[in-house]
Amino acid sequence: MSVRKLKPITPGQRFRVVNGFDAITTDKPEKSLLAPKKRTGGRNNRGKMTMRYKGGGHKKRYRIIDFKRDKQGIPAEIASIQYDPNRTAFIALLNYQDGEKRYVIAQNGLKVGQNIVSGNSNVAPEIGNAMPLSEVPLGTIVSCLELRPGQGAVMARSAGSFAQLMAKDGKFATVKLPSGETRLILADCMATIGVVSNSDHQLLVSGKAGRSRWLGRRPRTRPVVMNPVDHPMGGGEGKSSGGHPRSRNGIPAKGYRTRSKTKASNKYIVERRNK
């Protein structure tokens, strides 16, 4: 994976850093795994704007991703590595030996023609293979983690993210998550070996405001320039500082803990995320 810095032939390209896309092998998605994707523009069922700064953007079709990896014991060959407009990571098209095709999140190092498999036992802990945490060796880097068995991957799915298996004790495994939090997860939960692909995503620079519009993001108004009726940080003569940073509802934005002390999952958190 690599990034390219463009020559400044226009103002929008002066600081632009683009993805090299050298890991991508095709630009044509699998038609049978596409679904329509409807956009709301931030409006509810009555047409009222309930989410600000959304709207516009390029038309997309959703790629149906297999987050559960529940086709166990059947090897699959990687047919291609593809770009997905709906996520930061690249995706891999799998051709199973029984003829079925599925998309999965691609890990760093996956190559076309390589075989991967998911299963409970007799599955080697190699990049791209999926298995329960109980079968993963200690210290292994994993991604696409489940929180509940059979739920499908919900954690460590974005570009370049990964978690690490720290310990196993009974029916629980201790996992260090991308946020820095250390948490207990049921050992029956599936995980995929390896780091999520496209780890250079964080180095990209859009270069111009128009690219945000292409992604469906409208311009955001700073709270400090609003009126007092619109935001707690608004008002004042001239360029006032706005007071303590807080949300539109008055909740402090920095350092204020909003997590419930009686939340059921608190007992599974071994160590809170890094400040």
Other CB atoms within a 10 A radius of the CB of residue 25 amount to: 16
Cα–Cα distance list, 94 to 14, 26, 77, 91, 267 (Å): 39, 13, 6, 10, 38
The pLDDT assigned to 247 comes to 94
190-193 and 130-132 as β-strands: parallel, antiparallel, unpaired? antiparallel
As a whole-number percent, the residues of the chain with pLDDT over 70 amount to 99
113 CA to centre of own chain: 25
Task: Tell me: pLDDT of 246 over 80.
Answer: yes
Q: Do residues 95 and 101 lie in contact, with contact meaning Cβ atoms separated by under 8 Å?
A: yes
- CA dist 68 and 154 (Å) reads 10
Question: Cβ neighbours of residue 206 under 8 Å, at least 6 residues apart?
Answer: 16, 212
Nearest to 242 by CA among 259, 225, 255: 225
Other CB atoms within a 10 A radius of the CB of residue 69 amount to: 24
Q: What is the pLDDT of residues 150-166, one digit of tens each?
A: 999 999 999 999 999 99
The pLDDT assigned to 2 comes to 87
Domains in the chain, CATH or no CATH each: 3-201 (2.40.50.140)
| Mean pLDDT for all residues in the chain | 95
Q: What is the pLDDT of residues 97-146, one digit of tens each?
A: 999 999 999 999 999 999 999 998 789 999 999 999 999 999 999 999 99
Cα–Cα distance list, 112 to 25, 74, 94, 231, 249 (Å): 8, 17, 10, 52, 50
The pLDDT assigned to 134 comes to 95
Task: Tell me: pLDDT of 241 over 90.
Answer: no
